[in-house]
Structure 1
Amino acid sequence: MRHRKHNHLLGVKTAHRASLLANLSCALIENGRIKTTLAKAKALRPTIEKAITLAKKAHASDDAARKVHLRRLAIARIRSKKAVKKLFDELVEQFVNRNGGYTRIYKLALPRLGDAADMAIIEFVEDAPKKKAKKKKKPTAKKVAVEKKDDSQGDDSEASEPSEESSPEPEEVVEESSESEPEAKTEEEPAEESPSEESAE
């Protein structure tokens, strides 16, 4: 008899359902939270929590062969070595002191456009440990170099200003000399006229 047995069929066949839950599990492990339909979120919860239980057993075990066996069981369920490695090596530490209930589901108010399916967000209860961001030294060095370039350009502009100011002075001297030459010619002209006048007389 099928008493007290409940499976989330999701309206698809067994192979399709297994692939769907494996993909959702990988997405949840990689991102920490995902948005999906309420039915899929409820179907994903037992799948991902059983995988977390396998990771906890491997974390608590000292037998290397048992750790490998539990990791292979998780790979058979999740179908991604990368996701299983992250779950067994990184995420398992935040669930060591928690007995079940590793995920939570939020029901969203707005249904999905198109078919009006109920939407939900499923996420891990414990937050993943955040890594401290390393300070970058390269941008500061670039800023210093830019500032040095600006200073050098300023020095060049200051050096060019005196040259521009000094350049008009020779022009003034030339103008004075040019003005003095006609005066000299005018003075010489009467001297030349005087002999002619004497000859005429």
Structure 2
Amino acid sequence: MFRNMAKSLLTHYQLRTTEVKAKNLRSVVEPLITLALRNDLHARRQAYSVLGNHQLVKKLFDEIGPLYVGVPGGYTRVLKLGATRRGDNAPMAVIELTRKPGEAAAQTSAPEAKVAKAEAVKQAVAAAEAAAKTAAEPVAEEAEKKAE
């Protein structure tokens, strides 16, 4: 059951299931993504032994794995829906990958935006200090004249 759920999660990047199944599915999917980070022949064969689909293994290693380079863990997120399943009142949740191929560009541009914002703040502070310094010079000259 978890193999099929892992296939669906890696195919669609998101899966709606019960909370318990979603939490247990993490223990299957996260090691697969860790294998994708290794990206060697043995890791591909281990992933194939779980997934049983060459196209999905290729997608895992070529598309999903590179998104998580440098990330120590936490590749999936479980969000509780607050709703229950109609037949047995089981609490439902959505399990999803934290990063998706379409969102990779947005995530890489976010740090650049942060750097640009920090530079703008530094420039504004420097301009404010320069304005305060020029405003303080005439006051200092007046104080010297009064002291004489």
TM-score > 0.5 by shorter chain:
yes
1:32 equivalent to 2:44? Answer no
How far 1:54 sits from its partner (Å)? 0.5
Count how many residue pairs are aligned between Structure 1 and Structure 2.
104
- Decide whether the 8 Å contact of 2:64 with 2:100 is kept in 1: no
The amino acid of 2:26's aligned partner reads R
The amino acid of 1:94's aligned partner reads L
Specify which of 71, 92, 95 is matched with residue 65 of structure 2: 92
Give the helix-richer structure, 1 or 2. 2
How far 1:105 sits from its partner (Å)? 0.2
Counterpart in the other structure of 1:8: none
Task: Please report the RMSD computed on the Cα atoms of aligned residues, expressed in angstroms.
Answer: 1.5
Structure 1 gap segments, 5+ residues each: 1-19, 59-66, 131-201
Q: Distance in 2 between matches of 1:54 and 1:118?
A: 31
Q: Structure 1 segments of 4 or more deviating over 2 A?
A: none
How far 1:36 sits from its partner (Å)? 0.6
- Decide whether the 8 Å contact of 2:22 with 2:94 is kept in 1: yes
1:122 equivalent to 2:95? Answer yes
Q: Deviations over 1:144-192 (max 9, x none)?
A: xxxxxxxxxxxxxxxxxxxxxxxxxxxxxxxxxxxxxxxxxxxxxxxxx
Taking every aligned residue pair, what percent have the same amino acid on both sides? 40
Counterpart in the other structure of 1:21: 2
**TM-score scaled to structure 1, two decimals?**
0.50
The higher radius of gyration belongs to 1
**TM-score scaled to structure 2, two decimals?**
0.67
Counterpart in the other structure of 2:47: 74
The amino acid of 2:82's aligned partner reads A
Q: What does 1:129-144 correspond to in 2, within 5 Å?
A: 129=102
